């Protein structure tokens, strides 16, 4: 079956930004201008297409990434020329830090991104985090400075914050015509024309000459743009220096290459709410962001040999896809979103999961329009779709051709930092709660469920108070489970600061008949970070926060018992040493031991490994770690003393103080344990005028006086 759309006319991109920068409003305009919807839904009215969950509409925030497919005919093309239409697969992502997992996993499978900024605030904390995720996944980006109609908006100040805090390679491609209440158009610095947006919802893009009062600025920035566009091409640079006019199409083609290589980040502007500038951003997506064919081959490894394999973005290559998101659908069950990197897959065939080694029948495939579904028979390279009803698929699993196996690199997720106890209200809720939590945990890799073996309590952990609040709310609405919840608690960790060598433990038990015998000698030390490109030796099992080295020589412990020792160590790490928190960043080397021909067993070595670890960890200077949050506080100047004092009293370290318009912005690092309820305190301290955002930054050793309090509270 032939694909209905050429691959070079597909753009997979995401809309990413800090909370309240206008991502969802921009996404609604994209749907309206591409003809997918005929009435624009507004966030403040709770009627948007991509924010389709009840909680999203009630709270006016995006919680889950929504995928939409639409078609765009560039505004500079004849409207009836269908051959020029480009298919957009767009993902509108959340801006709130608690749902940052959605941004990270979306960027892993997208080819490009439009980063939206608030024209008043410029670069905000979550803008920096999202930019970093895009850097990690090497995703080409366009910038859109939005909300130019807002009081206090400044294009130049926002542009300067991008250069200063994100990347020096950002280049103005537009400047606004007017700001605040006078904002009504933009100037294209490449074409040197002014554009206005007339008719219903600004649907008609009208080209005019640049207003006289902005001509000098436009000429200056045009020269800067051309210089940046040609500086990597010697031939074009020479033409520019010789004073020759370089055709716009040639400049565009050069800029496209630079954007795809992340050597330039074009900056556009406008106001999505006032319908100014969005169509020109869509044109830029077509002109500058990559099609799947522009990208390098995706890299994976052979599941058996570990050798590197590359798959080109082509239908003719063997099938390769990555599952990047699970979603529970009330009508069809579980949806597994996947991105196809090469080859094709048809509904009704079997899907091979190389991560688990299992096959599942792929009954139905759907293309998503936020919460609406369109059935498709076949999915081609470069496309994003969702499989219905896969039972064993999880986020980060690789699907591929069974005869050409490959495993793609997994998506790495952040560790949860906040926990709370949860218990069902009734016996009926108890049975349903386990299933509901499992489904929610499958959907969101940053939402973890555990149980306290001593008390039998169920503990849920997530990225923040809002994250857990939404999960408990979803449990009630989607699964009908009512639950009582405890107070939020910090997800502390433990680690070791020193080394314990030759820690020996012999587990011997005789009870008539067959006994038990397991004897191990281990060395514990802090785990070292891998150097870029460093290969992991075959005798080393390495995880995100644990390393197990098998240095047994001459078969003093038979090979079949080694995994049992590793398992015993791992289980002991989960129980902790100082106060019962999970241990991280530990390297354990199994150096020696012995075995008994009759009595040795897996359980004996597992117990020996666990006991040896506990003895060794006590000798290796164990400490408690606490999550440290990066916080940004925005407040009027007159409250400076109160705000800085409050941060210092919370064991906070103030990093810097900057200004944003008339307001002060304080950047600090503060332990999470001190920050519960801070938003309410801040509002009261600043007469309701202060606001703050925080995100997890790193773990740090807890001071001794605080450690004693934590241990006491755990008793």
The encoded tokens of residue 176 equal 């606004």
Rg for the chain (alpha carbons), in Å? 28
Using pLDDT thresholds of 50, 70 and 90, give the confidence band for residue 60.
very low
Could you tell me the domains of the chain? 7-294 (3.40.50.300), 298-408 (2.40.30.10), 418-491 (3.30.70.870), 494-620 (3.30.230.10), 624-714 (3.30.70.240)
133 has a pLDDT exceeding 70 = yes
| Helices 125-136 + 100-109 axis angle, to 10 | 30
Give kind and range of the element (H or E) at residue 86: strand 86-92
Name 298's Cβ contacts closer than 8 Å, sequence gap at least 6: 310, 311, 313, 320, 341, 342, 408
Contact criterion met (CB below 8 Å) for 117 and 146? yes
* Number of residues assigned to the chain: 715
φ and ψ at residue 644, rounded to 5 degrees? -65, -40
Determine how many CB atoms are found less than 10 A away from the CB of residue 79.
8
* pLDDT score for 95: 46
* pLDDT score for 82: 56
> Stretch 362-382: mean pLDDT, rounded?
77
Using pLDDT thresholds of 50, 70 and 90, give the confidence band for residue 50.
very low
* pLDDT score for 220: 93
* pLDDT score for 586: 95
> Stretch 498-523: mean pLDDT, rounded?
89
Q: pLDDT digit string (tens) for 628-652?
A: 988 888 888 888 999 999 999 999 9
Report the C-alpha gap between 618 and 499 in whole angstroms. Answer: 10
Contact criterion met (CB below 8 Å) for 611 and 521? no
Using pLDDT thresholds of 50, 70 and 90, give the confidence band for residue 79.
low
Gap between the terminal Cα atoms of the chain = 65
> Stretch 615-621: mean pLDDT, rounded?
95
Q: Which of 237-241, 270-274, 324-328, 454-458 has the lowest mean pLDDT?
A: 454-458
* 334: β partners: 328
* Pairwise pLDDT comparison (42 vs 266), residue with the higher score: 266
Structure letter (DSSP) for residue 677:
T
The encoded tokens of residue 226 equal 């051309």
Beta strands, E only, 125-223: 141-146, 170-172, 174-177, 185-188, 193-198, 204-208
Report the C-alpha gap between 550 and 451 in whole angstroms. Answer: 31
Determine how many CB atoms are found less than 10 A away from the CB of residue 627.
21
Using pLDDT thresholds of 50, 70 and 90, give the confidence band for residue 37.
low
Using pLDDT thresholds of 50, 70 and 90, give the confidence band for residue 81.
low
Q: What is the 3-state secondary structure (H, E, C) of 635-660?
A: EEHHHHHHHHHHHHHCCCEEEEEEEE
> Stretch 305-329: mean pLDDT, rounded?
85
* Pairwise pLDDT comparison (37 vs 596), residue with the higher score: 596
Report the C-alpha gap between 441 and 464 in whole angstroms. Answer: 15
Q: pLDDT digit string (tens) for 587-606?
A: 999 999 999 988 889 999 99
* pLDDT score for 140: 93
Report the C-alpha gap between 480 and 472 in whole angstroms. Answer: 11
Using pLDDT thresholds of 50, 70 and 90, give the confidence band for residue 59.
very low
Using pLDDT thresholds of 50, 70 and 90, give the confidence band for residue 453.
low
Report the C-alpha gap between 197 and 269 in whole angstroms. Answer: 13
Q: What are the Cα distances from residue 152, in Å, to 46, 222, 509? A: 26, 26, 76
* pLDDT score for 287: 92
Q: Which of 14-28, 112-126, 489-503 has the lowest mean pLDDT?
A: 14-28
Report the C-alpha gap between 604 and 585 in whole angstroms. Answer: 25
Report the C-alpha gap between 221 and 683 in whole angstroms. Answer: 42
Using pLDDT thresholds of 50, 70 and 90, give the confidence band for residue 143.
very high
527 has a pLDDT exceeding 60 = yes
The encoded tokens of residue 101 equal 């997992």
Q: Which of 8-22, 50-64, 155-169, 655-669 has the lowest mean pLDDT?
A: 50-64
φ and ψ at residue 663, rounded to 5 degrees? -100, 160
Give the pTM: 0.72
261 has a pLDDT exceeding 70 = yes
Report the C-alpha gap between 114 and 91 in whole angstroms. Answer: 10
Place of tokens 């809309």: 15
* pLDDT score for 36: 63
* pLDDT score for 209: 92
433 has a pLDDT exceeding 70 = yes
> Stretch 238-243: mean pLDDT, rounded?
85
Contact criterion met (CB below 8 Å) for 461 and 418? yes
* Pairwise pLDDT comparison (5 vs 226), residue with the higher score: 226
């Amino acid at each position: 079956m032939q694909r209905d759309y050429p691959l070079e006319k597909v753009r997979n991109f995401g809309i990413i930004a800090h909370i309240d920068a206008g991502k969802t409003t921009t996404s609604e305009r994209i749907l309206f201008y591409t003809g997918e919807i005929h009435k624009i839904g507004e966030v403040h009215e709770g009627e948007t297409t991509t924010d389709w969950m009840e909680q999203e509409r009630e709270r006016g925030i995006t919680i889950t990434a929504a995928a939409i497919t639409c078609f765009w005919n560039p505004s500079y093309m004849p409207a009836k020329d269908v051959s020029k239409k480009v298919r957009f697969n767009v993902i509108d992502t959340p801006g709130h830090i608690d749902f940052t997992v959605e941004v990270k996993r979306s960027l892993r499978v997208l080819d490009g991104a439009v980063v939206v900024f608030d024209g008043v605030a410029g670069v905000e904390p979550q803008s920096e985090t999202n930019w970093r995720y895009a850097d990690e996944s090497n995703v080409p980006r366009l910038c859109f400075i939005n909300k130019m109609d807002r009081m206090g908006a400044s294009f130049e100040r926002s542009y300067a914050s991008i250069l200063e805090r994100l990347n020096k390679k950002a280049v103005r491609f537009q400047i606004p015509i007017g700001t605040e209440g006078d904002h009504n158009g933009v100037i294209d610095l490449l074409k040197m024309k002014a554009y206005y947006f007339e008719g219903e919802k600004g649907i008609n893009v009208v080209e005019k000459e640049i207003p006289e009062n902005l001509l000098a600025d436009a000429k200056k920035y045009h020269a800067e743009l051309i210089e940046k566009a040609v500086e990597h091409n010697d031939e074009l640079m020479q033409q520019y220096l010789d004073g020759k006019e370089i055709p716009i199409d040639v400049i565009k083609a050069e800029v496209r290459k630079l954007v795809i290589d992340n050597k330039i980040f074009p900056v556009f502007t406008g106001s999505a709410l006032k319908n100014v500038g969005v169509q020109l951003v869509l044109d830029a997506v077509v002109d500058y962001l990559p099609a799947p064919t522009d990208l390098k081959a995706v890299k994976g490894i052979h599941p058996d040999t570990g050798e590197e394999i590359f798959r080109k973005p082509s239908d003719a290559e063997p099938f390769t896809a990555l599952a990047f998101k699970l979603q529970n659908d009330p009508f069809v069950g579980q949806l597994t979103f996947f991105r196809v990197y090469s080859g094709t897959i048809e509904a009704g065939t079997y899907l091979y999961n190389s991560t688990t080694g299992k096959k599942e029948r792929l009954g139905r495939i759907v293309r998503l329009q936020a919460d609406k579904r369109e059935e498709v028979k076949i999915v081609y390279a470069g496309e994003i779709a969702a499989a219905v009803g896969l039972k064993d698929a999880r986020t980060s699993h690789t699907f591929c051709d069974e005869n050409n196996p490959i495993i793609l690199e997994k998506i790495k997720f952040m560790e949860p930092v906040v926990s709370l106890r949860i218990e069902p209200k009734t016996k009926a809720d108890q049975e349903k709660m386990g299933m509901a939590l499992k489904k929610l945990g499958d959907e969101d890799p940053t939402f973890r469920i555990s149980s306290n073996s001593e008390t039998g309590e169920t503990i849920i952990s997530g990225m923040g108070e809002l994250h857990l609040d939404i999960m408990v709310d979803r449990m009630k609405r989607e699964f009908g489970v009512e639950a009582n919840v405890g107070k939020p608690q910090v997800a502390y960790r433990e680690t070791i600061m020193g080394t314990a060598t030759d820690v020996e433990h012999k587990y011997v038990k005789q009870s008539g008949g067959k006994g038990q015998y397991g004897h191990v000698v281990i060395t514990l030390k802090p785990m070292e970070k891998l150097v870029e490109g460093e290969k992991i030796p075959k005798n080393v099992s390495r995880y995100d926060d644990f390393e197990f080295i098998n240095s047994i020589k001459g078969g003093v412990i038979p090979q079949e018992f080694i995994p049992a020792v590793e398992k015993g160590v791992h289980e002991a790490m989960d129980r902790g040493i100082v106060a019962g928190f999970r241990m991280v960043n530990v390297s354990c080397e199994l150096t020696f031991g012995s075995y008994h021909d009759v009595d040795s067993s897996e359980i004996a070595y597992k117990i020996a490994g666990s006991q040896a670890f506990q003895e060794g960890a006590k000798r290796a200077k164990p400490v408690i770690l606490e999550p440290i949050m990066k916080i940004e506080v925005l407040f009027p100047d007159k409250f400076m003393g109160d705000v800085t004092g409050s941060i210092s009293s919370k064991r906070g370290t103030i990093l810097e103080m900057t200004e944003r318009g008339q307001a002060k912005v304080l950047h600090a690092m503060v332990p999470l344990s001190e920050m519960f309820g801070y938003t309410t305190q801040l509002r009261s301290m600043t007469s309701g005028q202060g606001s703050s955002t925080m995100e997890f930054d790193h773990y740090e050793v807890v001071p001794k006086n605080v450690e004693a309090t934590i241990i006491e509270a755990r008793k």
